[in-house]
Structure 1
Amino acid sequence: MPTSSPASSTFRLDWRPSRLLGLALVALGLLAGGSLLASRLPPPLKLPAATLALARGLQLARREAGRAPCRLAWAGGDAPVWVNGSVLVSPRLHLRGPIAVLAARDVHGRLQRFCWWPDTLSPGLRRQLHLAASADPRSANPLAVLSA
């Protein structure tokens, strides 16, 4: 965390894998497999394709569940996001109903995404995250009301 940033102007938020997202990925794998079985796909291809769809859904759910929890610190706006001591640049917050996704790039240019579902982010914290995204980090004390 940079020392030039006052602690009261930084929004801090914990991230952890969502159980709802894992369940949704498993359900999508099941539905994809079922739709392949009900399709007009040639019979010799139906079962292998359905099995692959289910296996991919389970793989994605397991990968998501295995991600390590972390702590994010953000001064808001286009300021870098600090994740467990590593810096991420060009943050963008996407809000879709009760789901929030923060995307940013690491020092190697790889895209990192943090997704909060309703089971991991309360409505109050969601509002604070939205306010942090719209805050100007160059103001005197942009997030003082949001400090944890």
Structure 2
Amino acid sequence: MSSASASCRRASAACRAEWRPSRWFQRALALLAVLAATSILASEAPRPLAWPAALAALAHGARLCLRERARPAHSFVIRGAEVLVDGAPVAGFELRWRGPLAFAAWRDGEGRRRRAAWWPDTLPPALRRELRLAAPPPPAARGRASMAP
């Protein structure tokens, strides 16, 4: 029993996670751009309008892919309630999970809202488990009753 209580009192080690743009997400954006252009061409839209719209959909998809690829990598350090992003403390850090995807949101030093999403190709299972264990607890539910009286 003494070893269990000692381990509970001991502060947990910091979780270090690197974020980088996901290649899977970039491929999904490219595929959606191709499918959008194909669906425009397959519709009954007049051809003089369909071709420019399809080219615009392809160009917009290519712009989104390039913008995602150009996003800078981030370094996360989580020590209990303290979270550092690229070495700077952040406020309002939230980590949400949707299956194997992890979504982080925080406010930087200037008060701007920032977001990052880890896809399975950027977050191996061992680091996923470590991040899940080290993340600060989610905010508490509102004070109102959730059921009718």
User: TM above 0.5, one fold?
Assistant: yes
What is the distance in 2 between the residues matched to 1:43 and 1:61?
A: 27
TM-score, structure 1 normalization: 0.75
> Deviations for 1:44-80, whole angstroms, at most 9, x for unmatched residues?
221111111111111111111112222111224xx35
Rate the CA distance shift 1:7–1:57 in 2: closer, same or farther, 3 A. Answer: farther
8 Å Cα contact 2:82-2:89 kept in structure 1: yes
Match of 2:54 in 1: 50
Of the three residues 22, 25, 28, the one matched with 1:21 is: 25
8 Å Cα contact 1:99-1:117 kept in structure 2: yes
- What letter corresponds to residue 83 of structure 2 in structure 1? V
8 Å Cα contact 2:89-2:109 kept in structure 1: yes
Of the three residues 113, 124, 127, the one matched with 1:125 is: 127
What is the distance in 2 between the residues matched to 1:65 and 1:7?
A: 37
What is the distance in 1 between the residues matched to 2:97 and 2:78?
A: 17
Rate the CA distance shift 1:88–1:40 in 2: closer, same or farther, 3 A. Answer: farther
TM-score, structure 2 normalization: 0.75
8 Å Cα contact 1:25-1:60 kept in structure 2: yes
What is the distance in 1 between the residues matched to 2:106 and 2:32?
A: 26
Rate the CA distance shift 1:13–1:85 in 2: closer, same or farther, 3 A. Answer: same
8 Å Cα contact 1:80-1:90 kept in structure 2: no
**Higher mean C-alpha displacement, 80-89 vs 53-62:** 80-89
- Is 1:107 matched up with 2:134? no
What is the distance in 2 between the residues matched to 1:52 and 1:10?
A: 46
Q: Which has the higher contact order (CA 8 A, sep 6+)?
A: 1
Higher radius of gyration, 1 or 2:
2
- What letter corresponds to residue 91 of structure 2 in structure 1? V
SS at match of 2:120: coil
- What letter corresponds to residue 114 of structure 2 in structure 1? Q
Structure 1 position 132, deviation (Å): 2.0
Count residues with an aligned counterpart: 129
Rate the CA distance shift 1:51–1:7 in 2: closer, same or farther, 3 A. Answer: farther
- Is 1:89 matched up with 2:91? yes
- Is 1:36 matched up with 2:40? yes
**Higher mean C-alpha displacement, 117-126 vs 32-41:** 32-41
Structure 2's unaligned 5+ residue stretches are 1-9, 139-149
SS at match of 2:135: helix
Rate the CA distance shift 1:7–1:40 in 2: closer, same or farther, 3 A. Answer: farther
